[in-house]
């Protein structure tokens, strides 16, 4: 189970780095946070799981989406 | 493959691999046992020393409360800096309070009925005339977040107040409360407004909680605790048999209110900017 979760996190992280649509990247980042929260819970660290779910999936997503709204959604080559 | 971009990507991948190796290799090569002295001490003494069943709370509010004060100050500075930068980048609107500037902008716009009695509370629901252009902001979002918000707030209060018994604590509960505030702000309609979206309310809660966080530990300097200890962050009620974890509960509540109000204020202020852009 742990290995499956870690593999999913790895795949999502690579997708997040490669995606040109930054909003998709943020959703992937949020999903990574949720999966890591599940991972922490399975590893008997419920305190860390609550923090990860609330901060990673909740607050930081709001901050990133706000930043995208004020800048641009699509990535572009420098 | 003489493209400079591909070389840059390869160099980045190589750098990442080297960094991971440098961090992880000592862990695999190490043949020492993990240190167990602190763990065993906490398992044996933590509960009777602090009264908290949750040993994480016992550490960060019982043994290491002064570090927690430092973390709280770090968070306070981070929130202040974010608001300050956002206010400077977006003009004076945020600095005056996001409610005030939005009200004037909206009053001068196409008049909706609800604008007449608007205080400094903020409504983040999309006006009807903008519904056609914003296809992703459906009514579904507002209904779900509006109904879910109070539940999340209650859950945050539970996590905050029962941090000494169950997983959680001040920081965790505070962040959950901040999520609840964001939910309420997203789901607020014209006819259902909450005072939790007001900048002034959130700022007052945060300031009062921080003042309490400074004042409450000072009480330890005037009451003699167990073993004759006294000083900043000493537990003045540790010898009472009624509620030995009362000091931890109090600190958890204060920290939770401070963190929730601070992060909620930051997020709600950012949402207000988003609506204007």
Closest CA to A63 of A31, A26, A17: A26
* Residue A37: per-residue pLDDT: 94
The stretch B250-275 carries a mean pLDDT of: 82
Residue B242 shares a structural domain with residue B132: no
Round the average pLDDT of chain B to a whole number and report it.
Answer: 76
Residue B183 shares a structural domain with residue B232: yes
Residue B82 shares a structural domain with residue B127: no
Residue B80 shares a structural domain with residue B182: yes
> Which pTM value belongs to this model?
0.78
Residue B182 shares a structural domain with residue B110: no
* Residue A40: per-residue pLDDT: 94
In a domain, B34, yes or no: no
Residue B229 shares a structural domain with residue B188: yes
Q: Which helix (H) or strand (E) holds A1?
A: none
B68 CB contacts (<8 Å, ≥6 apart)?
B60, B61, B170, B251, B255
Residue B123 shares a structural domain with residue B71: no
How many domains does chain B fold into?
Answer: 2
B171/A51 Cβ within 8 A: yes
Closest CA to B53 of B245, B226, B275: B245
pLDDT of A3 strictly over 60? yes
B137 CB contacts (<8 Å, ≥6 apart)?
B126, B131
Of A50, A55, A58, the CB nearest to B168: A50
B274/A50 Cβ within 8 A: no
CA–CA separation, B11 vs B14, rounded Å? Answer: 5
Residue B274 shares a structural domain with residue B183: yes
Of B168, B270, B274, the CB nearest to A47: B168
Query: By the 8 A CB rule, do B125 and B146 touch?
Result: no
The stretch B166-170 carries a mean pLDDT of: 85
Residue B204 shares a structural domain with residue B222: yes
A49/B179 Cβ within 8 A: no
Predicted confidence (pLDDT) per residue in B68-126, tens digit: 889 899 999 998 888 888 777 665 444 444 444 444 444 444 333 333 333 444 555 56
- Classified as helix, coil or strand, A75 is coil
Residue B107 shares a structural domain with residue B87: no
* Residue B19: per-residue pLDDT: 94
pLDDT of B224 strictly over 70? no
Of B168, B172, B274, the CB nearest to A66: B274
Global ipTM: 0.85
* Residue B140: per-residue pLDDT: 83
Residue A37 is encoded by which pair of tokens?
A: 């929260």
Give the residues across from A74 on adjacent strands.
Answer: A21
In a domain, B12, yes or no: no
- Classified as helix, coil or strand, B31 is coil
Q: Residue B118's domain spans which residues?
A: 99-136
Predicted confidence (pLDDT) per residue in B171-200, tens digit: 899 999 999 988 888 877 655 566 777 778
CA–CA separation, A58 vs A53, rounded Å? Answer: 7
Whole-number CA gyration radius for chain B: 24
Closest CA to B237 of B62, B72, B67, B69: B62
Q: What is the 8-class DSSP label of residue B219?
A: G
* Residue B136: per-residue pLDDT: 64
* Residue B196: per-residue pLDDT: 73
Query: By the 8 A CB rule, do B237 and B154 touch?
Result: no
pLDDT of A22 strictly over 60? yes
Closest chain B C-alpha to A42 CA, distance in angstroms: 14
Question: At A21, phi and psi to the nearest 5?
Answer: -85, 115
Chain A (43-62) residues lying within 8 Å, Cβ to Cβ, of chain B: 46-47, 49-51, 54-55, 58-59, 62
Predicted confidence (pLDDT) per residue in B21-51, tens digit: 999 888 888 877 778 888 888 888 888 777 7
CA–CA separation, B129 vs A25, rounded Å? Answer: 30
CA–CA separation, B65 vs B222, rounded Å? Answer: 18
Percentage of chain B exceeding pLDDT 70: 70
* Residue B129: per-residue pLDDT: 60
CA–CA separation, B248 vs B52, rounded Å? Answer: 8
Residue B249 shares a structural domain with residue B187: yes
Between B6 and B208, the more confident residue is B208
In a domain, B13, yes or no: no
Predicted confidence (pLDDT) per residue in A23-75, tens digit: 999 999 999 999 999 999 999 988 899 989 988 888 888 888 888 877 877 77
| B181, closest residue in chain A (CA to CA) | A59
Residue B71 shares a structural domain with residue B182: yes
Please state which of the ranges B124-133, B202-211, B238-247 shows the lowest mean pLDDT.
Answer: B124-133
């Amino acid at each position: 189970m742990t290995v499956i979760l870690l593999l999913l996190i790895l795949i999502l992280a690579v997708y997040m780095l490669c995606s040109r649509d930054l909003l998709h990247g943020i959703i992937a980042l949020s999903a990574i946070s949720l999966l890591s929260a599940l991972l922490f819970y399975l590893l008997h660290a419920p305190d860390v799981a609550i923090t990860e779910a609330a901060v990673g999936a909740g607050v930081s997503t709001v901050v990133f989406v706000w930043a995208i709204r004020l800048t641009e959604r699509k990535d572009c080559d420098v | 493959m003489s493209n400079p971009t591909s070389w840059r990507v390869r160099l980045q991948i190589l750098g990442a691999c080297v960094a991971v190796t440098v961090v992880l290799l000592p862990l695999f090569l190490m043949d020492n046992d993990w240190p167990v002295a602190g763990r065993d001490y906490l398992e044996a003494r933590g509960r009777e020393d602090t009264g908290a069943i949750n040993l994480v709370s016992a550490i960060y509010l019982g043994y290491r409360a002064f570090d927690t004060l430092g973390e709280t100050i770090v968070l306070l500075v981070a929130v202040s800096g974010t608001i300050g930068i956002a206010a400077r980048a977006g003009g004076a609107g945020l600095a005056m309070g996001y409610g005030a500037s939005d009200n004037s902008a909206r009053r001068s716009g196409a008049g909706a009925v609800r604008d007449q009695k608007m205080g400094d509370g903020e409504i983040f629901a999309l006006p009807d005339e903008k519904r056609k252009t914003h296809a992703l902001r459906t009514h579904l979002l507002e209904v779900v977040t509006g109904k879910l918000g109070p539940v999340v707030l209650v859950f945050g209060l539970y996590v905050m107040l029962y941090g000494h018994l169950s997983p959680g604590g001040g920081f965790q509960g505070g962040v959950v409360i901040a999520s609840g505030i964001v939910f309420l702000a997203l789901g607020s309609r014209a006819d259902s407004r909450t005072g939790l979206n007001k900048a002034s309310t959130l700022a007052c809660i945060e300031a009062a909680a921080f003042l309490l966080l400074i004042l409450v530990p000072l009480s330890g300097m005037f009451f003699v605790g167990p073993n004759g200890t006294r000083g900043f962050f000493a537990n003045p009620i540790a010898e009472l048999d009624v509620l030995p974890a009362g000091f931890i509960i109090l600190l958890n509540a204060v920290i939770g209110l401070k963190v929730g109000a601070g992060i909620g204020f930051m997020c709600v202020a950012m949402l207000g900017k988003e609506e204007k852009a």
